[in-house]
Amino acid sequence: KMTRWNSQESCNADTPQENPRVLITGGLGQLGVGLAQMLRNQYGPERVILSDIKKPPSHVYTSGPFVYADVLDYKHLRELIINNRVTWLVHYSALLSAVGEANVALARKINITGLHNVLDLALENCLRLFVPSTIGAFGPSSPRDPAPDLCVQRPRTIYGVSKVHGELMGEYLHHKYGLDFRCLRYPGVISVNTPPGGGTTDYAVQIFHDALSTGHHECYLRPDTRLPMMHISDCHRATVEFMQTPECQLSLRTYNIAAMSFTPEEVAQEIRKHLPHLKVTYNPDSVRQTIADSWPVRFDDSNARRDWGWAPAFGLEELVKDMLRCVRDKRT
C-alpha cells in the first residue's frame, strides 16, 4: 500500500471541491441510491459513481455510473479513484448492528479492514472522506438523554466498536495529516425504496409495510423503547449540506444529527390516526432489545445546528404521513 503515513507531507486544500467527483461504496444499501440521486441532481449524473459487490436493479444502471467494488480490494479501489479522478469518497459499506452480532468476524473485516483501506486511499489521494457513524457508537455508560457529541463511548456491539474506531481514526488522520474527514452520527433512518438490512431500528420501517398489508406488526422491541430516528430525505440532505460546508466552519469532525425520537407505541399511535385498525404485538428479541437499551434515547445536535446550519424538515407527524403515502404508491 502507498500511504502518507510516514511522510511529513499533509493533504492541502489544492483539491477542487466546488464540482466534486464522488465515489460511493456500499451503494446498494439503504442509503446509497438516494444520496447518489441527490448529488447527481446537483453535480450531474456522470460525476457520481455508485459501487457495491451486488448486482444492481436495472433502474440503477440507467440513472448513472455503477461499478463493482469490494472495499477489501485496496488495489482495485485505488484504480477506481485514480481513473475516475474521484475527489469525494462516501463510505457506506458496513454490516449493521444486529447482523454484525450474528457475524462478528465478517463485521470486523468489512467495518474495520474495509475502513482502513478507505482511510489510506483518502489520505493518499487528498479526498474529502465521509464515513457515517451512528447512535450505535454509544453504549450503556454513555449519557443517553441526550447524548452529546463528546462523551463516554463504550459500545457493546462490533458495529459500535467499529464506528468508534472509524471516528477516532478519521479524526486522528485529520489532526496529524490534514485528512478532510467528515462524519455524521445518524439516527435510525426510515426509508421506503431501499430497505435497511439487519439493524436494530428496522422495525420502524417494517411497521409501515405491515400496517398497509396485514394490519398487524409484531415488534421485536418493547413498546417503550425510545430511539432517535430520521426520515431518509433529511439524512441525505444533512450529508450533502455537511459535505458542502467549508472546512473553516467545522469545529468538530464528528457531529450528532437529530430529527425526532419515538417509541414503537408512539409511532403506532401516529399511524393509527390514518389506519385506526393497526394492531401491534410485542415480542422483544433479546439481542436487539439489549442493543436498543444501550443506545441514546435522544441526540444533542446543537453543534451541527450552530456550525453548519443543520435543521430537519420531518417530525413524527410528517414522517408517518409521507411513509404511508410512499408505501401505498409502491404497492399499487
Q: Summarize as ranges the residues that interact with ligand AKB (CB under 6 A).
A: 96-97, 134-136, 159, 188, 196, 199-201
Q: Characterise 12 by phi-psi region: left (phi > 0), alpha (psi -120 to 50), beta (else).
A: beta
> Tell me, what amino acid is at 285?
D
Query: What's the angle, vertex CA 133, arms to CA 128 and CA 137, rounded to 5?
Result: 145
Beta bridge partners of 128: 88, 180
Phi, psi angles (nearest 5°) of residue 27: -70, -15
Determine which one of 92, 159, 177, 255 is catalytic.
Answer: 159
For the chain, the straight-line distance linking the first and the last C-alpha, in angstroms and rounded, comes to 51
* Distance in Å, CB of 265 to ligand AKB, minimum: 19
Residue (of 312, 297, 166) closest to 232 by Cα position: 312
Nearer to ligand AKB, 25 or 201 (CB): 201
Cα separations (Å) of 183 from 170, 243, 267?
A: 8, 9, 28
Cell numbers for 15, please give them: 483539491
159 is catalytic: yes
Neighbours of 20 (CB within 10 A): 21
* Sheet of strand 188-190: strand arrangement: 188-190, 227-231, 260-262
Residue (of 65, 71, 61) closest to 47 by Cα position: 65
Nearer to ligand AKB, 159 or 181 (CB): 159
* Distance in Å, CB of 269 to ligand AKB, minimum: 22
- Whether 267 and 204 have beta carbons less than 8 Å apart is answered as yes
User: DSSP assignment of 265-303, as one string?
Assistant: HHHHHHHHTT-TT-EEEE---HHHHHHHHTS-SSB--HH
- Taking CB atoms, the residue at the shortest distance from ligand AKB is 199
Cell numbers for 48, please give them: 457520481
Q: What crossing angle do the helices spanning 203-212 and 316-331 adopt, rounded to 10°? A: 50
> Tell me, what amino acid is at 137?
A
Nearer to ligand AKB, 64 or 199 (CB): 199
* Distance in Å, CB of 26 to ligand AKB, minimum: 13
Which residues are tagged catalytic? 159
